[in-house]
Chains A and B, each alone.
Chain A
Amino acid sequence: MTVDTAEDVAAFRQRARQWIGENLRPFSSSNTMGLRVRTSEEELAAVAADRQLQRKVFDAGFAGICVPREYGGQALTPAHQRAFNEELTGFEFASRCQIPTMSPCAAVLLEFGTEEQRRRHIPAMLRGDEIWMQFLSEPSGGSDVAGALTTAVRDGDEWVLNGSKVWTTGAWWSDWALCLARTNWDVPKHRGLTVFVLPIHQPGIEVHQIEMLNGARDFCQEFISDVRIPDADRVGEVDEGWTVGTRWMSHERLLFNSPYVTYPAGLERSLAEGSAMQIARDTGRLDDPIARDRIGEARALELVGRQLEQRLAAGIGSRRLSDQAAAIGRLYGGLARLRTATIKFEIAGDAGGAWSDDDGTAAEIGLAFLMRQTSCIGGGTTEMARNVISERVLGMPRERTLDRDVPFRDVPRSPSGRS
């Protein structure tokens, strides 16, 4: 792309700044997707508001900044998206229309979808009409994604799906799903998978909201019974689902760094809470040198994380780093958020354990601490990231596995029968 054919980043930034300033409200954590507890009515209202907000951004020509024009995007560069994200700092954004809808789902369709699939779905995603989910993890195992047991059996021009998916955030109010299913049990596990797209709300799919230990009910489990999908909704070749799946997961690991995701730069990742400094203020510890040390530590982790994300995105983009290096960002992000949750809990003092509404940002910090490990589990555990970094980035020997080079049906499974 040259300056002749596209608006340069500085001019784009200027235009974005003006539009954002005139059209968007200030950022508020109350409406933003997260693990905070809302009633169903409040959540549905927030979803509707996000769809409207996404539509507003689309109508203004700022949705899908890196998406080709023929699919409703702006055909600009990652630098433009980054500039937009930077200008968006401090403003509202359609949090429910970004991840996983734009990345990995739209990113996977752009890479592997048919022309018809792209034209049908990507503009709808950009308008806020379709919110997507990943039907990836299963109750039988979260990290071993290629061990999927959900099965698709061919029946003429259709496929019949049976099985269960889990850890979909907000499936009960979402529209479509990208689904990894087993289409062949007689070949090794990575060679018998196929990817499909399907509407979530249809007969045969039961969506169950899972209550988390903090009372949140965003995560869902789906029970899929004899769901019929036309072959036209298959993504990629039959039994080639792992080719799609590996790219799918590298898009997933990019998170907020994905060039398809609109997300205010520097927004604290733990959206539901106040900053460490606000908690110190609300608990009267602003002058406590120990609290200030921890505040400084949290700030350093945040700034380092931002620099690391830029380095990884640039390195992967220029191919100086392998795709697998995204796991470095995942591991750093998980550990940094974990540490930050601990810091906030520590600064909150006893208000972290028992609080009243008068405790300001210290209230409910204890609940966030109970959920702390989320940052090191969701989206692939940090242990998996460590395997990827050591084996795929550093080239160290792979772990011995019992599921290679044998038909998937012969692979040992949990004796409890839960799989």
Chain B
Amino acid sequence: MLLDLTDDQEFFRETTARFLDEQVPTAELRRRRDDPAGFDPSYWQRGADLGWTSLLVGEEDGGGTISGHGVIDLTLVAYEFGRHGAPGPLVPTNIVAAALGTAGGEAQASVLADLLSGASIATWCYEEPGRRPLGEVSLDIRVDGDHIVLDGVKRPVESAAQAHHLLVTGRTDGGLTQALVPASAPGVSVTPLRTVDLTRRFCSVRFDGVRLPIEAVIGEVGGAAGEAERQLELAVALHCAETVGAMQQGFDMTVDWAFDRYSFGRPLASYQALKHRFADMKTWLEAGHAVSDGAAAAADARTADAGELASAAKAFLGDYGTELLQDCVQLHGGIGLTFEHDLHVFLRRVTLNRVLFGTPGDHRQRLARHVELREAVA
């Protein structure tokens, strides 16, 4: 997270942090392990009141930022979500709100208003089953007169069982098309997936000849590739901020433990073999803060290198987020592997974030492509 926040940003972050402290302490997260949604509608609505859902939407549509840099402001919330292991569809709802704010029509105005107020939630159906290069989409969106028809499967989709609206990225002939689908539309079936996460819920969503009026299309038919990439950049930047929050929390807990725990008559923190591991972890953590902030700032300003920085952040944080938390477990010893201990809340967060919206390996392939294109120009 940024070292120097504005006073308004700091107040905003602090307000969310205090709210999450009260609402979702780790005991509450444990209590909700089998809760189908993982959170109450009232929790989400109160979060929306704090500004969780409005930061990527322009003021003319009812949104607004804290600092004039909505993506950076939203990463402050994401960071606190990571630090608390908080439930709630923060990333997918904001992605859909941003998409509707950018390219939504009259037909979606009331949906956007409900997302901003927290009255309803939405999620983004992007990734698909099976190994393929990140960004390759095969779900079929066919135009049939003044209707569209969707066929295909999306997974994993966050909070799909709770979502009222699904933003679906699919393929029409040569190009990508995005459509906003009511979760209740005939032909939509949602199957919960099992997950390592304690707080977030994921599903597989199947579209069997889902037929909607063409007004459901967001943006251009066959012309949504740029928007989908933009959404991917945002999702990666937000997940990276969450991961950094989870890393920070796990690291702080483990530093405290190292001072508190005595073995052979001295604190763990006095052993050079362990001190050096803490130094490595601190370095990964600071590097993670730095690249996560860099990716957020680039996504906010829509600079030419935003996609490359997002991939660098994900490639690094995917690997080192899990490395750091696993090392925290190692330094705790057996207690770090118990359900009773809090560490797994954060380990779960970074583990799932590592594989959502592209693995580190997927993003390294993208980085190689960026390097290749740049060196071809040079």
- Which A residues are closer than 8 A to B by beta carbons? 275-278, 286, 289, 292-297, 299-301, 303-305, 307-308, 310-312, 314-315, 318, 320-321, 325, 328, 331-332, 335, 383, 385-391, 393-394, 396-397, 399
Contacts and interface: CB of A to CB of B under 8 A. Distances in A.
Contact of B368 (A296, A318, A391): A296
A300 B375 contact: no
B33 interface: no
Decide if the interface of chain B is mainly helix, strand, loop or mixed.
Answer: helix
17 contacts: A296-B363, A296-B366, A296-B368, A296-B371, A300-B312, A300-B316, A301-B316, A304-B287, A314-B3, A331-B279, A331-B280, A386-B279, A387-B275, A388-B279, A389-B278, A390-B269, A394-B279
A321 B286 CA distance: 11
A318 B2 CA distance: 12
A299 B371 contact: yes
B223 to A, nearest CB: 29
Contacts of A315: 3
Interface of B: 3-4, 255, 258-259, 267, 269-270, 272, 275-276, 278-280, 282-283, 286-287, 289-291, 293-294, 308-309, 311-313, 315-316, 361, 363-372, 375
B83 to A, nearest CB: 18
A387 B35 CA distance: 46
A292 B316 contact: no
B283 A396 contact: no
Contacts of A304: 287, 290-291, 312-313, 316
Given A297-B315, A299-B312, 8 more contacts: A276-B371, A277-B368, A277-B371, A300-B363, A332-B287, A335-B283, A387-B276, A394-B269
B220 to A, nearest CB: 31
A300 B360 CA distance: 10
Contacts of B267: 397
A307 B278 contact: no
A314 to B, nearest CB: 7
A396 B287 contact: no
Contacts of A393: 282
Nearest to A316: B3
Contacts of A311: 3, 286, 289-290, 293
Given A277-B372, A304-B316, A312 B365 contact: no
Given A300-B315, A314-B4, A295 B361 contact: no
B179 to A, nearest CB: 32
Contacts of B312: 299-300, 303-304
A386 B279 CA distance: 5
Nearest to A295: B368
